[in-house]
Amino acid sequence: MAYTLYSTDELMLSAGSMEKEGRLKEAADLFQKILKASPSNDKALSRLMVIYRKLKDPRKELTIVNNLIRRQEALYKPLKKIRASVSTLSKKLNLSLGRTDKKGRELYLPDAIKKLHKRKEAVLKKLN
């Protein structure tokens, strides 16, 4: 039995064409396969979220949305190993620019995270 290896890009193209053809369950399975091979593929996660929305499966969509939110928030977290002087200066600068409150909490979310939170609210409404 001969096995054919496909690159992630080829699988993404194939899954995208399945989605366009309306073969959503097959496309979802292929996106799941892509995520097993490459768990950090945010494009596959995003497409899978859309497919679950089209399939009217809010529970699976919610798990994908939560996963994407965690990934996006991790991108914006500060590095832990910085010098104390740099950390203090950074906190003062963020406070003076109005990006954080006096306790150091972020006041503004990046657009990508805002969109995902809106999507999460919509999915939660569907579940309730």
The residue-averaged pLDDT of 24-45 equals: 91
pLDDT of residue 17: 93
Q: What residue segments make up the domains of the chain, in order of their start? A: 8-127
By CB atoms closer than 10 A (0-12, 13-18, 19+), residue 106 is: middle
For the domain spanning 8-127, the CATH number is: 1.25.40.10
Side-chain half-sphere exposure of 60, counting CA atoms within 13 A: 17
4-16 core/surface letters (b: 16 or more CB in 10 A; e: else): eeeeeeebbeebb
Q: Does the pLDDT at position 89 exceed 60? A: yes
Half-sphere exposure of residue 56, counting CA atoms within 13 Å on the CB side? 0
Per-residue model confidence (pLDDT) at position 5? 55
Residue 62 has pLDDT above 90, yes or no: yes
